[in-house]
């Protein structure tokens, strides 16, 4: 493994370098795993707070449009690259284009999940800590929830929880594609829906829930502006796990006979459903207790505890909520870890277990400054007004991710000739797909990129 064969231009777009990935998902296993990757802190932590900040229902509608019109075509493109290339991200790019230069893009999309995991796992750790805090009743012993949250993220405990989050992720990944990733998601993704529905019924039956529902579902278009459109598009990418090779990596394990178009639609709608249910839990709850929906990242950790404290059986519902968040986060961290692990096993020829241990350790170490920088020991270390955590999040979500997405659209739109066949789409669907991937998606994604990099302002 890992030795690079000569690659020749052949009419069959797959050229020979290294070995092809052999492991495969089952049909439903793949759908669950991909939904598991998509559904995460993005749906349940980030989506509600940005929807709160950018005006509620109108923003939600924009998000739906971005997800369906831009997200789905790019998702299909990533899945097709993965299945067509059957390698780690950079190998797949090289195989399908026959040009080594494309390997650099693949390499970038391998570093990115590496970085993003180092702070995503920090927040995943917070959710686990909050689950324990809630179930044990300690959360409610002090009603200054903001102060409690700050004291927690200001201490050393987040490092321990981040370690636990990475450890659990590594545990799943070490078991491999079908008995690790697939089995884990087949249990937790249906489990999540049940938990979400229980919590939604609870939220919708609270006195005063109606106001939250109309904030979430009754659009006021005057609140929309260009900035909210770009944020919606950026979030559609994040939420569908696009732009850094996660879906390419999973695509490499998909059976040739499975329809990628149908899979992309199932994944997109699944992701949307979880965001919708999360909104129907969080907004009715926040409004019913007169809390502020637009308060940003603290929404889930600061506002919701106050609501749980005031509701009958709040310990149970609050605890369930944080368990739900933790599971959702873990099905995503699993997909993020698989990307660099697949690269390392393929390129260096290491065994899966050894790769997982080394990569996990490196990510954990890189995450320590993140875990401590939100309010802890190294929070004084600022670069240009941003902490480590902020920098990781900002650079990954706002620059690397749209850049990766842009490269995917260019690759499928202009470089790779075998996309039509690999996608399995009928001629008219293929035309529509190609149109979106060639002309619409790259332009809009480029705008997001310029905006995020501070080159253009609105």
Interacting residue ranges for ligand TRP, rule: CB under 6 A: 37-38, 40-43, 113, 238-239, 241, 243-244, 246, 332, 335-336, 401
Contacts of 330 (CB under 8 A, 6+ apart): 124, 165, 168, 169, 172, 184, 188
**Residue 386 pairs with which residues in a beta bridge?**
383
Which among 224, 220, 209 has a CA at the least distance from the CA of 280? 209
Nearer residue to ligand TRP within complex by CB, 57 or 278: 278
CA distance 255 to 18: 20
> Helix axis angle, 57-66 relative to 260-288, nearest 10°?
170
CA distance 347 to 302: 44
Query: What does residue 419 show for φ and ψ, rounded to 5 degrees?
Result: -60, -40
Nearer residue to ligand TRP within complex by CB, 401 or 434: 401
Which whole-number Å values give the CA distances from 264 to 7, 187, 231, in the listed order?
A: 30, 21, 22
CA distance 190 to 270: 11
Nearer residue to ligand TRP within complex by CB, 140 or 253: 253
Rounded least distance, CB 262 to ligand TRP, Å: 20
Residue nearest to ligand TRP according to CB distances in the complex: 42
Rounded least distance, CB 39 to ligand TRP, Å: 6
Nearer residue to ligand TRP within complex by CB, 41 or 96: 41
Rounded least distance, CB 393 to ligand TRP, Å: 11
Rounded least distance, CB 96 to ligand TRP, Å: 20
3-state secondary structure of 388: helix
Residue 271 CB coordination number (10 Å):
26
Which among 3, 160, 12, 203 has a CA at the least distance from the CA of 91? 3
Nearer residue to ligand TRP within complex by CB, 75 or 311: 75
Rounded least distance, CB 238 to ligand TRP, Å: 5
Rounded least distance, CB 173 to ligand TRP, Å: 13
Nearer residue to ligand TRP within complex by CB, 153 or 278: 278
């Amino acid at each position: 493994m890992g030795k690079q064969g000569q690659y020749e231009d052949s009419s069959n777009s797959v050229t020979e370098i290294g070995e092809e990935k052999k492991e495969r998902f089952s049909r439903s296993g793949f759908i669950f795993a991909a939904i598991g990757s998509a559904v995460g802190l993005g749906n349940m932590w980030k989506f509600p707070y940005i929807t709160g900040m950018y005006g509620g229902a109108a923003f939600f509608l924009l998000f739906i449009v971005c997800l369906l019109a831009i997200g789905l075509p790019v998702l299909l493109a990533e899945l097709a690259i993965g299945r067509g290339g059957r390698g780690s991200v950079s190998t797949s790019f090289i195989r399908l284009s026959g040009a080594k230069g494309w390997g650099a893009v693949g390499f970038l999309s391998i570093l990115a999940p590496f970085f993003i995991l180092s702070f995503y796992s920090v927040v995943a750790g917070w959710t686990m800590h909050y689950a324990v805090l809630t179930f044990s009743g300690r959360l409610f012993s002090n009603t200054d929830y903001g102060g409690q949250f700050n004291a927690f993220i200001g201490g050393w405990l987040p490092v321990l929880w981040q370690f636990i989050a990475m450890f659990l992720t590594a545990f799943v990944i070490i078991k491999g594609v079908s008995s690790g990733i697939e089995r884990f998601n087949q249990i937790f993704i249906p489990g999540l829906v049940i938990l979400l529905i229980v919590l939604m019924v609870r939220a919708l039956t609270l006195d005063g829930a109606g106001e939250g529902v109309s904030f979430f579902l009754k659009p006021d278009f005057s609140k929309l502006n260009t900035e909210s459109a770009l944020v919606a598009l950026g979030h559609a990418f994040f939420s569908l796990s696009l732009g850094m090779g996660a879906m390419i990596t999973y695509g490499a394990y998909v059976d040739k006979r499975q329809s990628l178009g149908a899979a992309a639609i199932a994944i997109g709608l699944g992701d949307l459903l979880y965001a919708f249910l999360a909104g129907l839990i969080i907004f009715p709850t926040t409004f019913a207790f007169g809390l502020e929906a637009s308060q940003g990242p603290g929404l889930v950790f600061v506002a919701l505890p106050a609501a749980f404290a005031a509701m009958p059986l709040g310990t149970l519902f609050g605890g369930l909520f944080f368990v739900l968040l933790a599971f959702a986060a873990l099905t995503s961290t699993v997909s993020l870890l698989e990307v660099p692990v697949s690269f390392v096993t393929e390129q260096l020829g290491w065994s899966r277990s050894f790769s997982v241990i080394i990569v996990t350790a490196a990510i954990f170490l890189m995450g320590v400054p993140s875990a401590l920088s939100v309010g802890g020991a190294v929070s004084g270390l600022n670069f240009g007004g941003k902490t480590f955590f902020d920098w990781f999040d900002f650079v990954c979500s706002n620059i690397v991710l749209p850049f990766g997405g842009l490269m995917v659209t260019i690759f499928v739109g202009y470089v790779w000739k075998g996309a039509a066949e690999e996608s399995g789409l009928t001629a008219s669907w293929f035309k529509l797909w190609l149109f979106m991937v060639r002309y619409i998606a790259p332009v809009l994604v480029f705008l997001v990129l310029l905006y995020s990099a501070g080159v253009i302002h609105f």
